[in-house]
Amino acid sequence: MKHLCVGDLVREHSCVEGRDESLETNILDEDKLLDAMEPMIQDAEEEGVGCVVDFHVCEIFPERWFDLVLVLRTDTEILYDRLTSRGYSDHKRSENMESEIMQVILEEAREAYDRNIVHEVRSNTVEEMEANVQRVEQWVAQWMQDNNVTEDDNNIDNE
């Protein structure tokens, strides 16, 4: 499997079209990002391996790219502490908190993809995160079986 860390790809391929100073974040050039990722996805498909696409939004990606979409969820008290420890400004923290409360990412995923492939997973505690890893390992094993991928092909390469 190939791991595509989209944040890294955004930096490597300069997929930024500006900056939102109020949120202290770059504005993503979605078209440039998708153009950069398309050959990576195609190469993985031709090689008969899957991709793990790791990013904080999903609705920008074509549905055909995914067999599974995981939306990580966190209780707001825990999220608040995590964002504070990362040094987020009050405004940025407030936007993230509102997004979590309103289930924005989960709803966007459900609207963009077949509801059967979208799964909400809790990530409040280390135990939940470890259980999520085990669950993903089970999904990957099933995907490999369904797609006739051997164990040798299962080594995750970071792009």
pLDDT in tens for each of the 159 residues of the chain? 889 999 999 999 999 999 999 888 999 999 999 999 999 999 998 988 889 999 989 889 999 999 999 999 999 999 999 999 999 999 999 999 999 999 999 999 999 999 999 999 999 999 999 999 999 999 988 988 888 877 665 555 555
Judge contact between 159 and 4, C-beta under 8 A. yes
Burial of 138 (0-12, 13-18, 19+ CB in 10 A): exposed
pLDDT of residue 17: 96
CA-to-CA distance for 47 and 152, rounded, in angstroms?
12
137: left (phi over 0), alpha (psi -120 to 50) or beta: alpha
Degrees to nearest 5, angle at CA 61 with 2 and 155? 10
pTM of the shown model: 0.84
Measured CA to CA, the distance from residue 34 to residue 44 in angstroms comes to 15
Res 122: pLDDT: 96
Q: What is the DSSP string of 28-81?
A: E-HHHHHHHHHHHHHHHHHHT--EEEE-S--TTS-GGG-S-EEEEE--HHHHHH
